[in-house]
Structure 1
Amino acid sequence: MAKPTVGILHPGSMGAAVAACATTNAAAVLWCETGRSTASAARAARFGLTPVAELDELLDRSDIVISLCPPAAAEDLAKGVAEHGFSGVYVEANAINPVRTQRIAALLAPAVTVVDGGVVGSPPVGGKTPTLYLSGPADATARIETLFANTAVQAAVLGTEVGKASALKLSYASFQKTSRVLVALAIGMAREHGVDQELIEVASKRTDSYLSEPQYVAKTAARAWRWGPELEEAADALAAAGLPPEMLRAAASTLARWHDVKDDGELTLTDALDRLAHP
């Protein structure tokens, strides 16, 4: 089978690095210069991407288009592709929720085959090997797997349902990114009282991720009656230190959904999650 021509929308730090990996198995990887910054042009040149002047040319020449852009722009980009009449494979790889991904798939149907994609990990440079999770029609996801075979991007297919890859990406991001913000708040509060180094020392004694211990959710639910007020107190301490308290107040509000399972040692993970979704 002939190597495909690939178009990348748009070559930001992640998009350009992912596109660079695609050059291994593609005839060419194109990007559109119109409206892009000098930084984008320099990045694209550094990664060996081929410039074209207009989006129409990119779409005319491409067999596969990969959309990796700021989330807010995802649907506008897809509309531009739909208006052009592109009829290849469109990889919707932005960090958007499954409903938006499905909406984009419906917008591009039936002419375009949409593959849902979600990149988990850092850009594939300097030895980093992110995973590109895929879901969608089997023949199309197989093409994307082939495109990234033997590169720093590890492709993994989740199934044929568009939306699964987006769901996995955002599920992980909801923990991974929010946890970084919580670190900033915790250390900020500790620093205000001169115990930041002691806090880091306490934390260093436990390096496991709670995300890998889902069974702990039931224990959290059973203790929510205590933990909620504790987080409200912590939120007050943040506010007193001039730090934003809203995240901890939101966490306390979430814990309140478990108010009726106080100290329930028989609670299961399924029970806890059901009560969280349907208080």
Structure 2
Amino acid sequence: MTIVGVLHPGSMGAAVAAQAKLSGAEVLWCTTGRSSATKERALKYGLTAVSDLRELVDKADVILSICPPAYAEDVAVEVSTHGFAGTYVDGNAISPATMARVYAIAARGGASVLDGSIIGSPPSGSKSPCLYLSGPEDALATVASLFTESAVQTRALSGGIGRASALKLSYSSYQKTSRVLAAVSYALARDYGVEEELLDIAQGRATSYLAETDYIPKVAARSWRWGPEMGEVADALKEAGLPADLVEASATVMSRWDDLRDTSLSISAVLERLHGEPD
């Protein structure tokens, strides 16, 4: 039986890790420093609690790091400190350069490192995200086998470390920034009383995030995490010699929603927060 450790079981991490149980794997999580919400998620998905990180590292064959991008390197350092020599999968939304640093940190401890990116919503009966992986072929096969009977699809990318991260940020740069721009567009239209007309225009198009107004409060509630991700996108664009102004501006917009983490406000309340500088 393969033993998988997940760091840390957030809404995506817990759901993805739990899918590995369908292949017969046991999934561990570390309770140290975790919130009551995290504990509830772990219980919901039937994850096995261990008391500290050393115990998780000692027992796990595979570790999945699925956390906010700002913590990816710190998590790798913590795991490496305990000498993890199994397969370490960084599934975070980080730039190829950040992934290279994570690789160096985790490999220093003896781990076989995979660059991973998750595209899509947390897996469920109706949703099937894709886990893209790049890195050593033997490690790719090991991780892919964990999800063969699950709602998580896996795709191998050639070219080594950095490819999966680049794919994630290429997608994020449009998907998340366009949703932020939709919010700004509605804020302007609302000031002039033409939001209904803007919605009518958007609904006449084949596809448009402007037609998904119900998603705007969800963007605000996730901006505490998406803002740092845009920082990673900006780094990736700069590394490629491309302009990063738009995603940097998106991060600035998101900073006005920093304190709305996990809230469920109305569209009107969320748009109002875009006026003026954040406190």
- Return the alpha-carbon distance in structure 1 between the equivalents of residues 2 and 47 of structure 2: 14
1:4–1:63 Cα contact (<8 Å) kept? yes
Q: Which of the pair has the greater relative contact order for Cα pairs under 8 Å at 6+ separation?
A: 2
What secondary structure sits across from 1:198 in the alignment?
Answer: helix
Question: Partner residue of 1:193?
Answer: 192
The verdict on how the C-alpha distance between 1:174 and 1:149 changes in structure 2, with shifts beyond 3 A counting, is same
- Return the alpha-carbon distance in structure 2 between the equivalents of residues 169 and 244 of structure 1: 30
Q: 1:88-167 to 2 correspondence within 5 Å?
A: 88-109=86-107, 111-167=110-166
Aligned amino acid, residue 16 of structure 1: A
- Give structure 2 stretches of 5+ with no counterpart: 210-271
Q: State the identity %.
A: 53
2:96–2:165 Cα contact (<8 Å) kept? yes
The verdict on how the C-alpha distance between 1:23 and 1:160 changes in structure 2, with shifts beyond 3 A counting, is farther
- Return the alpha-carbon distance in structure 2 between the equivalents of residues 209 and 102 of structure 1: 35
Larger gyration radius, structure 1 or structure 2: 1
Deviates most, 75-84 or 125-134: 125-134
Question: Partner residue of 1:24?
Answer: 22
What secondary structure sits across from 1:176 in the alignment?
Answer: helix
- Deviation, 1:243, is 4.6
- Deviation, 1:108, is 2.0
- Deviation, 1:109, is 1.9
2:125–2:151 Cα contact (<8 Å) kept? no
Query: For 1:32-77, what per-residue CA distance to the aligned partner results, in whole angstroms no more than 9, with x for missing partners?
Result: 0011011111100100100000100101000000000111111111
Question: Partner residue of 2:267?
Answer: none
Q: 1:246-261 to 2 correspondence within 5 Å?
A: none
TM-score by length of 2: 0.73
Provide the aligned length of Structure 1 versus Structure 2.
Answer: 214
What secondary structure sits across from 2:155 in the alignment?
Answer: strand
2:87–2:114 Cα contact (<8 Å) kept? yes
Query: For 1:143-166, what per-residue CA distance to the aligned partner results, in whole angstroms no more than 9, with x for missing partners?
Result: 111111121111111114101001
- Return the alpha-carbon distance in structure 2 between the equivalents of residues 137 and 245 of structure 1: 49
Aligned amino acid, residue 73 of structure 2: E
Does residue 7 (structure 1) correspond to residue 2 (structure 2)? The answer is no
- Deviation, 1:245, is 9.8
What secondary structure sits across from 2:89 in the alignment?
Answer: strand
TM-score by length of 1: 0.73
Aligned amino acid, residue 103 of structure 1: R
